[in-house]
């Protein structure tokens, strides 16, 4: 049996609340999209896709070694970003910065250890299905380009399972790993 998995860092409740405020303002935009639910908000570190249940255990073992190499990471969730580009908007996200780029280093180490699709760390705000007037939406999104959801300490990463359903994905942590 195949399991859809990704590796993420959880967000604290105060950051999630600020992202929800951003989403509330964005609901006025003339676009068809699916906003990420509060319980599903996270920092994406690596998307593994569909893997076998046997591989889940191998990944657990490999990931067990990584957190010992990384101390807790102070991070800031800010700056609206459009993925993959303004001409082809599929995802609206917030960047995640840390002074020493430890989250990006952690993502690369994850990729080296277990594979996956690694993008710069980000928090997905919504997945865009359709935009009638892209220019108008981009102008309105410009207001939130410098949106700042705040800072927090990344102290753990999680191997997550994603089950797709009629109302969207449901995420479940399969394993948590504490940073040193």
- Section 122-147 average pLDDT: 93
Please tell me what DSSP assigns to residue 132: S
The answer to whether position 82 is within a domain reads yes
pLDDT at 76: 98
Its domain, for residue 37, covers 2-175
DSSP per-residue string spanning 90-112: EEEEEEEE-TT-HHHHHHHHHHH
CATH number assigned to the domain comprising residue 140: 3.90.1140.10
- 163 located within any domain: yes
| Res. 168 pLDDT band, cuts 50 70 90 | confident
pLDDT at 33 over 90: yes
Q: How many CB atoms lie under 10 A from the CB of residue 172? A: 9
1 has pLDDT over 90: no
Q: pLDDT tens for residues 85-108?
A: 999 999 999 999 999 999 999 999
Residue 70 lies in a domain: yes
In a domain, 171, yes or no: yes
Q: CA 114 → CA 57, 64, 105, 146, distances in Å?
A: 11, 11, 14, 34
How confident is the model over 149-161, as a mean pLDDT?
A: 97
Domain assignment present for 87: yes
**Cα gap 95→151, rounded to integer Å:** 12
Distance between CA 93 and CA 155 in Å, rounded? 21
Mean pLDDT of the 63-83 span: 93
Query: Whole-number mean pLDDT of the chain?
Result: 94
Q: Is residue 117 part of a domain?
A: yes
Cβ contact 138:121 at 8 Å: no
> What was the pLDDT predicted at 67?
83
In this structure, is residue 180 part of a structural domain?
no
Average pLDDT for residues 65-76, to the nearest whole number? 92
pLDDT above 70: percentage of residues in the chain: 100
Q: What is the pLDDT of residue 87?
A: 92
| Cα end-to-end span (Å), the chain | 33
Read out DSSP for 33-48? EEEPPGGG-EEEEEEE
Once rounded to an integer, what is the mean pLDDT over residues 106-133?
93
Which tokens is 128 given? 């865009």
pLDDT, residue 134, reads 93
Stronger pLDDT, 17 or 64, i.e. the higher one: 17
Residue 107 lies in a domain: yes
User: Domain tally for the chain?
Assistant: 1
Which residues are within 8 A (CB) of 70 and not within 5 positions of it... i.e. 6 or more apart? 102, 105, 106, 179, 180
């Amino acid at each position: 049996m195949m399991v859809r998995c990704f590796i993420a860092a959880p967000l604290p409740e105060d950051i999630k609340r600020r992202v929800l405020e951003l989403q509330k303002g964005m609901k006025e935009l003339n676009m068809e999209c699916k906003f990420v639910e509060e319980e599903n908000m996270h920092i994406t570190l690596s998307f593994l896709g569909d893997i076998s249940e046997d591989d889940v255990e191998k990944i657990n073992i490999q990931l067990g070694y990584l957190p010992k190499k990384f101390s807790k990471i102070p991070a800031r969730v800010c700056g609206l970003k459009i993925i993959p580009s303004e001409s082809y908007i599929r995802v609206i996200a917030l960047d995640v910065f840390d002074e020493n780029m430890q989250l990006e280093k952690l993502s690369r180490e994850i990729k080296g250890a277990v594979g996956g699709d690694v993008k710069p760390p980000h928090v997905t705000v919504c997945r865009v299905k359709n935009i009638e007037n892209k220019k108008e939406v981009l102008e309105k999104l410009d207001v939130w380009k410098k949106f700042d959801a705040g800072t927090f300490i990344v102290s753990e990463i999680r191997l997550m399972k994603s089950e797709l359903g009629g109302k969207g994905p449901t995420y479940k942590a399969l394993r948590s790993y504490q940073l040193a």
